[in-house]
Amino acid sequence: MSTKFLAALLLLGFTYKASAQSLEHFVELAMDNHPQLKSELTKHEALKTQEEQASKWQDPSLSVGFNPSSSSMERLNVSLMQNFAWFGTTKLQKEASRVAVRSNYQNIAALQKQIMVDVSTLYYDIQEAEQLISLQKKNVQVYSEFEKLATHKLSTAKGNMVDVVRAELAKENAAIQITLLEQKKEALVYGLNRLVQRNENEPIQIESQRYKAILREADINTHPEIQAITLKKEEMDVRTKVAEKESLPTIGLGVEYMRMNPARNDFMPMVSMSIPIFRKKYKAKIQETKLLGEAYEQERDWAINQLYRERNQIENQLIQANQELDLYSKQIEKVKKAKELLLTYYSTAGQDFEELLRLQQEEFSYENILITTQATALKLEKQSEYLHFSSLK
């Protein structure tokens, strides 16, 4: 009998492990299916094409003239011109496009990490709800036992009916909390399924995790948010140089064919140059890119301060969570010992049942806080991972 029971337990454990879905599984689903990420990746591919759009070869200009008068010496005139931007303009345009692509890649890296945080938050919220449901079910069982004990004491004239009613009320309250928590879990499951683009009603089997403190260190300048802004500033610096180049003359090379009377063909090489005498628009473009560069520099300073502030806040919250986890674990052990002593006393004397219920509620309260703090610490750890995330330049 014991062998069959052991085999059943092993089979049950194997089935649970096989059906449990890890956090990494949902993060991977989100990376594959998240609409915003897919949109940003498509935009990134579109941005890559801008480099090819920058070319030193402009569209050539063809002009044709015909003189219908038979007395004219020139009957037909055909000219073909090719214009070229000032030396180095195209190279700078391509460089600006490449920097823009690198900046956008950093934004995508930050978005991917933020999606990981969003998925983790919902995953740990579901874990918390499941653990609180299990705790309340355990509470129902304990209060049921207390009710039986109070009923027994009442039958032996050592207890009273009030104790039985108190146990019933506590049990019913725990049952109500289970219903509320199950509704909360249902909403969280719906939210996670929608986030990773799964069927909204598809069940989720959580792979329970515990918080472990991790020491993180990373140069804040390598964070993708900072990298993206730094590269935007670099792009504006390059585009300022492009604007300066565009304010210089463009050069044209070409050839002209002339059909003369009597029958004679002439070819004449041609050179042209634009004269950018209306400087106001060029100065405005240069000023625009310089001001945008300054704006990105200011934005970068603000973003660095924000990241430092958020890092410090998360670190303090994690320290507090660690202290609470240690404190409430010890408090639970003490309350359990006190409850065992009082339960023994009530079993013999039939007194202090109200105090017994109070200790059970206190134990539950500590366990509840422990579960919530554990989930909070796990979510804070993922936020810390995002804030300490480094991206290659």
Residues contacting residue 318 through CB under 8 Å, at least 6 positions apart: 213, 377, 380, 381, 384
Cβ contact 299:358 at 8 Å: no
pTM, 2 dp: 0.83
Residue range 158-175, pLDDT digits in tens:
667 888 888 899 999 999
Amino acid at position 86, single letter: W
Q: pLDDT at position 162, please?
A: 83
Q: pLDDT at position 10, please?
A: 38
Tokens of 2: 């014991």
Tokens of 392: 């290659």
Largest Cα–Cα separation, the chain: 140
- Does 17 have pLDDT greater than 60? no
Point out which residues pair with 74 in neighbouring strands.
260
Cβ contact 65:77 at 8 Å: yes
Residues contacting residue 205 through CB under 8 Å, at least 6 positions apart: 16, 19, 20, 21
Domains and CATH numbers, the chain: 24-387 (1.20.1600.10)
Residue range 209-264, pLDDT digits in tens:
888 877 777 788 899 999 999 999 999 999 999 999 999 998 999 998 887 776 77
Give mean pLDDT, residues 11-24: 61
